[in-house]
């Protein structure tokens, strides 16, 4: 068994030496990414305090979410740095005033019938 393992290691070492430098760099970065994603757990994972584990296992309820929303609303009211700035209100007002002239926010008119074959503009402007 040990002979097989050493033979396999020697074969891998030989293959590694034969690779080009660019291939070695790619292989090294792939291996680092692999271990970054599959990092082993902390050694005292099973020795965590019971209350911490219980807190994570507790299911979220609708009432719990309501309480969370109420706490967040209260914090928005009491903390001035979380309030919306005057600049954002001014920006919203500015956009509301100019929405009719913005081609991204309004429906475009039919194309020019002199340039394209679309006659919808003439149909819309007829005296019927």
Contact 112/121 with Cβ under 8 angstroms?
yes
* Residue spans of alpha helices (H) in the chain: 2-18, 21-37, 50-57, 62-78, 86-98, 120-124
- DSSP sequence for 11-28: HHHHHHHHS-HHHHHHHH
Return per-residue pLDDT of the chain as tens, 128 residues.
Answer: 889 999 999 998 888 888 888 888 888 899 899 888 888 777 666 666 655 655 666 677 888 889 888 988 887 777 766 566 677 778 889 988 988 888 777 777 767 777 777 777 778 778 76
- Tell which residue, 122, 102, 100, has the closest CA to residue 111: 122
- Alpha-carbon gap, residue 71 to 82, rounded angstroms: 14
Question: For the chain, how many residues are written?
Answer: 128
pTM exceeds 0.75 for this model: no
- Alpha-carbon gap, residue 28 to 94, rounded angstroms: 53
Q: Output phi, psi for 16, to 5 deg.
A: -65, -40
């Amino acid at each position: 068994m040990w002979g097989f393992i050493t033979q396999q290691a020697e074969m891998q070492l030989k293959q590694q030496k034969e690779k080009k430098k660019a291939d070695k760099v790619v292989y090294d970065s792939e291996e680092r990414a692999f271990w970054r994603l599959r990092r082993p757990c902390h050694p005292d994972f099973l020795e965590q305090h019971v209350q911490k584990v219980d807190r994570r296992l507790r299911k979220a309820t609708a009432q719990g979410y309501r309480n969370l929303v109420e706490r967040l609303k209260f914090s928005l009211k009491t903390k001035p740095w979380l309030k919306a700035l005057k600049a954002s209100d001014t920006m919203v007002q500015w956009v509301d005033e100019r929405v009719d002239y913005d081609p991204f926010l309004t429906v475009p008119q039919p194309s020019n019938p002199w340039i394209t074959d679309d006659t919808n503009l003439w149909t819309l402007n007829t005296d019927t």
